[in-house]
Amino acid sequence: MQALKETNFKFPGQTGFYRGKVRDVYYFGNIMAMVATDRISAFDVVLPRAIPDKGRVLNQIAAKNLEATKAFVPNWVLSVPDPNVTIGFTCETFPVEMVIRGYLAGHAWREYKAGKRMLCGVPLPEGLKENDKLPHPIITPTTKAHEGHDEDISKAEILKQGLVSEQDYTQLEEYTHTLFAKGTALAAERGLILVDTKYEFGKNQGRIFLIDEVHTPDSSRYFYAEGYTKRQAKGEPQKQLSKEFVRQWLIENGFQGKEGQQVPEMTDAVVTSISARYQELYQQVTGNTLAPLTGVPMEQRIEQSILNSLKSVNLEA
């Protein structure tokens, strides 16, 4: 199975390049081409092996959800010319990620289990169990780290540090709740519960836009709706579609991204199982089966799709 670990293209008119945890980004003035590679990260660490099909699963789910939400919240996308590529305009990124949670799961549960009842300045009620639905969705922002770990931060601290103006933050909160409500409805149509997710925003010519991905398995956690209530009543683990199973595998093998810890060996069987879970999520979220890759090699196809797209956009836009 093909896996795209990185790209190293040199395009005419290219003005910059940035390699993120899982994406390679090519800049052309105010236009950018974002390539979703098959790299995978957990606990803010890029794991040593790429996962076949992961990049195109992420990019296509993101494209579907960006299209479905653009009438409610404007976003950065101009076109999606390839399963692994999105073309859009650049934005000045806000230095915080807007995390919103409808259920007590993942990081929030780990903090709660450790005895904390305040998360990012938001109080949590006593008596909750793992995966319980919260009384209402809560926003628990994090700082956006270029390297190392993102850190929890409160709204008060964001405003105090001047990371985001009060006016802009109010808009970010409104957009975050709107997107989560829409994402929850879309998930319900597919028999899923949107548990929690994160959104990133940026500014272009004074306007706020949703950027990067939205409602993908890397940025979101889903439960299967069927059987949720019974499993919760019995105290059983929820059946979920997210990257949490990767985190759990790492935790069970002694890795949480802390200093001195080593990433466990990613065998062929582990890589294949992770790939299968991403394909499962794609099918569950979109209702379509992921088509097999055929034809030209991935890198050649991606490079050509970007070249073709650049011919049809105004690089001075």
Sole residue written with tokens 């993942």: 106
Is the pLDDT assigned to residue 43 strictly greater than 90? no
pTM of the model as a whole: 0.88
pLDDT in tens, 1-28: 789 999 999 999 999 999 998 999 999 9
Give mean pLDDT, residues 268-296.
87
Q: What percent of the chain has pLDDT over 90?
A: 75
pLDDT in tens, 173-232: 999 999 999 999 999 999 999 999 999 999 999 999 999 889 988 889 999 999 999 999
The CATH architecture assigned to 93-245 reads: 2-Layer Sandwich (3.30)
Could you give the CA distance from residue 98 to residue 163 in angstroms, rounded to a whole number?
A: 13
Question: Tokens for 305?
Answer: 């799709």
Sole residue written with tokens 């606990």: 43
User: What residue spans define the domains of the chain?
Assistant: 93-245
Higher pLDDT, 218 or 155: 155
Residue 240 in contact with residue 232, Cβ under 8 Å?
Answer: no
Neighbours of 254 (CB within 10 A): 11
